[in-house]
Structure 1
Amino acid sequence: MDPRFSAQDVLRCDLCETPVPPMYCDFCHVKLCKACVGEHLFDLSKEHKIVPFKQSESAYNYPKCATHINKPCELHCKKCNIPVCSFCVSDKHNGHTFRNILQDFNAKKEEMKKDLQELKKYLLPKYEEIGSEIDVEKSNLDREYGKLITAVVKKGEDWHREINNIVKKLKSEIDEMKSRQLALLLKQENTIKHKCLEVRQSILDLKKMLDLNDVSLTSGYKSHNEEFRKLPFTVKVSLPCFSPQVIKTEQLRQMFGSLSVLPISSKEHDDTLKMIKSSQSSVCPEVKPELTIQTKALIPTDFLNLYSVSCLSDEEIWTCGDDKIMKLYNLQGKLLKSIQTKSGNIPGDIAVTRSGDLVYTDPKTKTVNIVKNGEIREVIRLRGWDSCNICSTYSGDLLVTMNSDDKEHSKVVRYFGSIEKQSIQFADIGQPLYSCGPNKYVSENGNLDICVADYGASAVVVVNQAGKLRFRYTSYPKCSGTSFYPLGITTDSQNQILISDCLNHQIHLIDQDGQFLRFIFNEDLYNPYGLCVDTKENILVADWKGKSVLKMKYK
């Protein structure tokens, strides 16, 4: 085998075969030792380019030609997009256009250098920075969730403490009742024992007199039986009854508190790190705070004007409007029951109690009435005040909004049955909380806040359980030029507050602290009035002029 073509042989000068030639002619493709460089350049019939062998084209690892064995591919066919050797040019690729394969090679190497620089200088540090941010987020996550758990545990301890106090108080009351009744029984027992002694003594006296046969003693005998025939009054002890309330887990959960649902936000990092749009600045478009939702059910009613809706169940709803008849419909629009007000007047508002009874206000008679087993019973009669709107609370109380007869004052009153438990009228500084106009729908939130849609003040007024003002909501700030017409109001399981904005044909959704979340629209919604939310988080809207109840899923 020719040693010049042996893979085991060292490279040699093409002119004198000197081993390991240090020079190379890129134009003639020959290896040269230093002694032969001058001789090679002496051939003036060709152009020459002498370079160190390490920088020559032959130092590159060319792809081998698939057609011509062992021939390096020094060209790239543009038409076929494949590397080719010099023999292919006049063979299968005749007439095609070519480019030097080293041009692509050098361009790729430059691209690789830029990529390497970007990876080392920009991208790796940025990924490491993001990794550090994640570590910080993880630490924050542990800390904040620890706080949440602590808050929940503390709330549980508070509840346990309150329950223990309630149990302790009830036990004390039971002990006191028992002591009083026991004292009565002991007193009666002493009386009976004393009478028994007197009767026994009379028996002994009579036996003795009968045995003596003493005429004078017998003649002076006076009977005491008439006195003994008057038996003492008997104390009949009646035992108290304990009437535990049914524990409803969902209501208990709502009263205990709930967690807000927070979306996991993602941060889009600056694309300038890719050195493509380094001169551009990105501007995030404003997201419109609105949600258009579809109707799940449209329940037509017979009212000319529909005011209020209240859920009896997820399948049945009570309604009232400009009619003395209150009507119960199912979701298919079938009329299930009709009840006329006791006075024949149009009801002011309706609500369904925790036990499923219908209550309604009668502004003209200044009363609040309850419908039980088809019979109407007056629960509350006001003096000097007109009843407006009503809701039933988690504890079974009733909240009633009312205006004074002189139209100068307005307040919310909490009732347990017919007993007034709380009156909410003024803020801390003595200013009225509510306007004196009509239409003040009221709802109790899961955190026990009392929420009033004050139409006359164009505001939603929220106070805590003690009646202290928490906040006023007067519409979304960016709609400051638009009037706010709050009418119906309700809350959901996340303590979010929903307010019907009647003349703007929309519903406002805010959180329990009064922060605006979004608007809710629907193509079937014209004038939203009364609102309620069922157990499946559907909102039901009494459409004033549309005369229908809309059922919508808003989450």
Structure 2
Amino acid sequence: MEAQISAVCQFCETSREINWRCLNCDLFLCRICNSKIHSKIMSSVEHKIIHLDQCGTEETINNIRKLDLKQMKCTTHHDRTCFIFCKNCNQPICSSCILNIHQNHTFCEIDDAYEEKLADIENLKVEIKSNIAFLKSEETLLQERELKSKNHHIEIRTLILNREEDMKQDIAKKTKYVLDELETEWHNTEHSINSDIELCSKTKSKLLKRKDNIYQTLKSHDPRLVFDECLSDIKQLHQPMFGKRASLFQFFPQQIETRGIVGDLTEKPIIENITVYPTDMKCISCLSHCEAEKLLICNNSEDILKKEDLSYDTYKTLKTLKDIRVMDISQTKDGHAILSVGEDLKILTKTGQLKTFLHLDLITLCVHVNNENELFVGALVKDPDHWRGELGIVLVLDEHGNTTCAFDKRKIINDSDSDYIYYDDSFDEDEEVDMFDYPSRVLNTKKDGILIIDNSNLSTYAGKVVLLNRSGDIEQEYSGCDCENCNDFKFCPFDIAETHSNLILVSDIGKHSIHVLGKALLTCSFVDDIGIDYPLSLCIDAAGKLWIGCDMSADDDEAAKIYCISFN
């Protein structure tokens, strides 16, 4: 603790002009005592004298601490001073300690140990200061994020409540319509019944009157009354013309499927970084990530397949295969590539060897390999009895190439308990129909669904995305967006990929866009927002990055680019 400044010089004890302090003597000195007396004392030549302005500074405190170091008492032998540092025990010790406790230990000068420890403390201080600055910055960012997230939360909450209010209004309108219809029917029914009651009452009165007349006739002795009684209107009186009997209406409440009726919360991807790579190809119809910045890319209109290393300033071609029409590529978990080529599934090994893995008696269109090395193959089966001459099919094969299941037909059923009702007036109930026209892409999702792009028009690639379960039931279909920007475009899906956060990306060559699907459509203008032209093929690598191959076939002056997008 800093000593309190004395009122008078502690050397002459008369002067009040205190300007100096001797750290060794721990005395406050006046100017004359410092220059004329203290400095002349032989034993004080090496004493550290400081001006009072320097008292309390870090340098002064350090100097005092160094002086105290020379007088530091041993914690074990209180009458002795520490003069050396034991590295084994990590403590300063005295001469008695060396003899009694620290024999055969490693020692160093106490000043050296002090300086080393002090340097470590200074480094720690700098690190703490840096961490505090970082935490202050992070705290500011988190506060800004909290405010932004709170506003976003309020905005989303308002949208959900507005949706609820809209649904309430729609239900109220429909309820009013049904109630008005019911009241109209009841009014007509009530009027008809009341009219019939009135007719019954009148007819009954007439019959009672006739009954009295007949009674009088039968009691009379006059036979003429018997001949005068008219019997022609008796039938009319017995059978009056009542109105049509009103039907009793029944109310059949419809079961409301709440899933998706309000909407769903899904995390929208946030782009962190975009890297652009040039190529010398006009179109990249499919691409598959191998490792690092190495990709397999192909253009099936030119029958060419390349393995590229994009880590160079100008990309480097590692391998080129010509005269091979590759429709699709998928990587196995051990780094080999499975290629869809005509009637074959071929394997391109990590060493660059191309072999036939499996021959199929059908035309393969696409292939996907999941983490269990199951193969999902979209293909066309030649069928001369079919009106098109071929039938779309999706196969699931084990790692040895054995077919475990196939999806090619589905039943048109009418089941009120089912979530999905398929019907067509041209088909009988429970008749089987084709499930696919042209299954050009297939993907086994992380939730074990089977996503298929089915193109119904090969000239435009117009089609839809179908989600199957393992039993082959259609769980969901997506046929494009209904927003104003998409009204003039048909949905033409070409490729499909799944992000690590289970979002489905679908490239659309009709609108030259990428649709982002969660439980519902998130956006249909994903690449429009980031300025990517003509996206075509898609791939998600092991790190979660999205690779996009483009199609510049319509541009004579520009080659296709590859984009790599990192998500936050």
Length-normalised TM-score, structure 2: 0.45
Length-normalised TM-score, structure 1: 0.46
